[in-house]
Amino acid sequence: MRKDLHEENRLSWNAATVAHNSHKGDQAAFFRNGGNKLYPEERELLGDIKGLSLVHLQCNAGQDTLSLARMGAIVTGVDISDIAIDFARQLSQDAAIPATFYRSDIYEWLTERAQSTQRFDIAFCSYGAICWLSDLQTWAQGIAAILKPGGRFVTVDFHPVMSMFDEQMAHIYPYFSHGKPYTWNEGVGDYVAMSGLGLVDTQYIEGVQDFKNPHRVHEFAWGIGEIVTALLNAPLQLTSLQEYPYSNGFKPYNDMRLSGRRWFLPTDRPSMPLMYAISARKAY
């Protein structure tokens, strides 16, 4: 567990979240008009969540959390970023969609929750979540501890293979890192500006220009085997594992084509997985 690195990441996410939200237009109006940010992949995996208690781990500024609430779940969002949680609370109020938000390192939140009597039907995280976790086994055990018997963990995230290539799609990073942190001095970037309409459902606003993050950041390049093994050891039962040849919203490489909200590799490139999804269940 590297809480020192998580704290540095918090500062970097605080700065980046301001830049990201500056491009997103009137999000409260988007929700008041019936908008929902979720992609078909997580909607299908989650199924009917009406009336279920759901915790959205690493919820950032709460847009997906409120979308889950829109689908009838009783939602709780948790994120380490102060700015993101402040934004999420304000958006919940402005959009008139009830949700509970906690600002916390998820490791501390999971430990505290496990000591309480509150249990959830679903724990969910998505799109750029697992790469910030310094200890997969403690994370997976924490999730198992706060689920009800029969409760589910669901994630859709960017595939670790995606991170082996730079923006020009040159293969320069290894797949296997065995939990060693990668430090990026440039911090969390303005990937919302880079992804444009892939990530923004409202009108795209120019917002913050040429964003430079003053805070470095630390990521973890967990492989699919390491993630699945941590969940199995938690213990959770794996019910599905899927891979996808496209990236929802986020544009990882310069040369990609957008179809709807999916970014595809150029047609002259061989396919590779850009996202994966996991469903796992706690035994009854």
**Residues at the site binding ligand SAM, with contacts judged by CB under 6 A:** 6, 9, 13, 58-60, 63-64, 79-81, 84, 105-106, 126-129, 132
Q: Are 205 and 23 in contact (CB under 8 A)?
A: yes
| 132 vs 246, beta carbon nearer ligand SAM | 132
Number of alpha carbons in the 13 Å side-chain half-sphere of residue 268: 2
| 81 vs 92, beta carbon nearer ligand SAM | 81
Burial readout 16-32 (b: 16 or more C-beta within 10 A, e: otherwise) = bbbbbbbbbbebbebbe
Structural tokens at position 43: 């909607």
Least distance to ligand SAM, CB of residue 151, Å: 20
CA 7/CA 20 separation, integer angstroms: 20
| 159 vs 237, beta carbon nearer ligand SAM | 159
Least distance to ligand SAM, CB of residue 76, Å: 13
Least distance to ligand SAM, CB of residue 185, Å: 18
CA 247/CA 127 separation, integer angstroms: 9
Least distance to ligand SAM, CB of residue 220, Å: 10
Number of neighbours of residue 4 by Cβ within 10 angstroms: 10
Least distance to ligand SAM, CB of residue 232, Å: 22
**Alpha-carbon Rg for the chain in angstroms:** 18
Of 73, 68, 65, 41, residue with least CA distance to 278: 41
CA 141/CA 146 separation, integer angstroms: 9
| 132 vs 271, beta carbon nearer ligand SAM | 132
**What Cα–Cα distance (Å) separates residue 194 from each residue in 13, 72, 161, 254?**
17, 32, 20, 9
Structural tokens at position 129: 């979540």
| 182 vs 270, beta carbon nearer ligand SAM | 182
User: Which residue's CB atom is positioned nearest to ligand SAM?
Assistant: 128
| 53 vs 65, beta carbon nearer ligand SAM | 65
Least distance to ligand SAM, CB of residue 142, Å: 11
